[in-house]
Chains A and B, each alone.
Chain A
Amino acid sequence: MTSEYAIQTSDLTKVYRSRWKRREVRAVDGISLQVPRGTIFGFLGPNGAGKTTFVKMLLSAVHPTRGSALIFGQDARIPESRRPIGYLPENHRFPTYFNGTGMLDFYAALSGMDSTQRRKRIPEMLELVGLEKWGSLRIGKYSKGMLQRLGLAQALIHSPKMLILDEPTDGVDPVGRRQIRDLLTQFEEKGVTIFINSHLLAEVEQFCREVAILDHGKVALSGKMQDLTAGKGYRLSVAQVPEALAEELRGRAASMTSRNGLFDFQFATRQGANEALDLLRAQQCEIESLTPTTSTLEDVFVRTVEK
């Protein structure tokens, strides 16, 4: 438990082979990733990129074909390595014969909590996720958002050092999402590492400190959020641009779009934007606006997976 990394994988690979057709699917292809302790890490990728398989290998639900995974320095294949983990799976299916309290009690017992600890902790967790009034209700009657919050309480109940969350705000209304985000931020402040697998890029951008983008089983891009979205630039909107000039500016700009006679040029540097402005003013073009821009995580994501 002395590793400076919460997750450390080396050449982690999973190849699914069909027994009869001899077909091979390389779901995860040699991922070497390091997630520092105490960070909020976003794990992104298009459908089928291998995110869930990677997470399942961390939890030993899927056996790697090659490579290794360490959780706080311990081999992920050892059950004990999962003690500091709280996990919320995507498309979870909690047994409907439980009520909220019973469900938390069951998973807390499996996490190694004794009955005294569980009795104290369960009401606290239900209150934390706003389900204190619903603990005795059968979870078959819970809404999707309530189930998601209960799942989060289940992941948090044994005070884990790391949370692995697969689509944590799936099915939760905007207010609930905000609450979950605030809750996770609180846990980050307590030093808990949070590893999030999500499709909601805007949400990931808001509160993840580091991200990795997975594509076709490989890490296509990774780094600190502020570095990845720091691709600053300038958007110049202009009307009545002569065709020849538009063509010239297209060559200078990072991108150009036009609609209803209005041209949008995206320049990577201030100098580029100023030079274009001079050319446009010289030809009496109507400047609509000049706006500084930054890359969104969505821009980064789309650029990465479309390469």
Chain B
Amino acid sequence: MNDSFGASIALVRDTFREAFARKIFWGLFGLSTAMILFFLFLLRIDVVEGGLAAFQMFGQTMSPRTDVDRLVRGVYAGIATFQYIWGVFLAVFASAGLIPSVLEPGRIELLLSKPISRVHILLGRYVGNVLVVACNIIYLNLGVWTIVGVKTSIWSPMFLVSIATTIFIFAVLLSVVVLVGVLFDSAALSIMIAVALMIMSPILAQTSTMLRLLSSEWSRQIWRTLYYTLPKVYDIGKMTMDAVQNRTFGGYMPIWTSAVFAVVILAGALTIFARRDF
């Protein structure tokens, strides 16, 4: 059991090492740092008795059009949206190479020669990859949350929900990256398919409209199947925005169906990896 735990730690650490040997991950952290610095130095907010007395960006005083609470929620929503869409896209882009690299001839044989199961090897890489990206997401969100909180004295814990949802949707998309990586050893194809799922999601989410527009029952059935089967990147993003802005949202179906999708895809990837010859 201890051996197994030690091997798991080694596999996760190896993923961290490889991730940080790739400049693209430093780019991700650099981008997060730039955003944190932006809020640290360029956002000036003076609050008097709960109202917005002065609001400066880039040193220019802006007209206070709203109260501080709304402004802060707007800032959080902007950050959460940016991170949810662009952060996840960049994370998928950065991660896509981490699966094919471990399957390279001359490297995989050595890993397989160790007394650990194939499931262990692939899950170690998957978990390591999720943790690397989670570090970046937590770093950015906590950084912005702390700075905005200190400057406004408004601490909105609901913003931290976006940490969980962004990590979750990345983990879902990473399962696709892992499956495509194991099947085709191709980082480019992994990115294409993961991004295609991101793009398809807002289209598929227009279910009620599309079901009215589609003329045949079978096409409506296909639409429903696709909507309920594929990960709901858009719906979960919308849930995140609602949560950050203290709005109510309807049900957790997008989360659990996406979780089921990730589990099935990951199980498929593990099965294929376990059966493959190297």
Contacts and interface: CB of A to CB of B under 8 A. Distances in A.
A79 B112 CA distance: 9
Given A61-B277, A85-B113, A107-B114, A93 B6 contact: no
Contacts of A112: 3, 6-7, 115
Interface string A35-70: 000000000000000000000100111110000000
B105 interface: yes
B113 A87 contact: yes
A20 interface: no
Given A79-B117, A109-B7, A93 B112 contact: no
Contacts, number: 90
- Chain A interface size range: 35 or more
B2 interface: yes
Contact of A63 (B3, B105, B275): B275
Contacts of B114: 79, 82, 107, 110-111
A82 B112 CA distance: 9
A60 B21 contact: no
A88 B213 CA distance: 62
A93 B108 CA distance: 9
B109 A56 contact: yes
Contacts of B101: 95
A83 interface: yes
Contact of A60 (B3, B20, B104, B112): B112
A94 B107 CA distance: 6
B110 interface: yes
A164 B13 CA distance: 27
Max chain A Cβ within 10 angstroms of own Cβ: one of B6, B14, B105, B114: B114
Q: Which of B101, B115, B117 has the most CB of A within 10 A?
A: B115
A89 interface: yes
A91 B106 contact: yes
Contacts of B277: 16, 56, 61-63
Contacts of B135: none
A102 interface: yes
B259 to A, nearest CB: 29
Contacts of B109: 56, 59, 61, 87, 89, 92
Given A62-B277, A79-B117, A89-B113, 18 more contacts: A61-B113, A62-B278, A63-B275, A79-B114, A80-B115, A82-B114, A82-B115, A92-B109, A92-B110, A93-B105, A95-B14, A95-B17, A95-B18, A106-B13, A110-B116, A112-B3, A112-B115, A113-B6
The 10 closest A-B pairs by CB, nearest first: A93-B106, A97-B21, A109-B10, A87-B113, A112-B3, A110-B114, A83-B115, A61-B112, A62-B277, A59-B113
Interface of A: 16, 56, 59-63, 79-83, 85, 87, 89, 91-98, 102, 105-107, 109-115, 154, 164
24 contacts: A56-B277, A56-B278, A61-B108, A61-B109, A62-B278, A63-B277, A79-B114, A81-B115, A82-B113, A87-B110, A87-B113, A92-B109, A92-B110, A93-B104, A93-B107, A95-B17, A95-B101, A97-B20, A98-B17, A105-B10, A107-B114, A110-B111, A110-B114, A111-B115
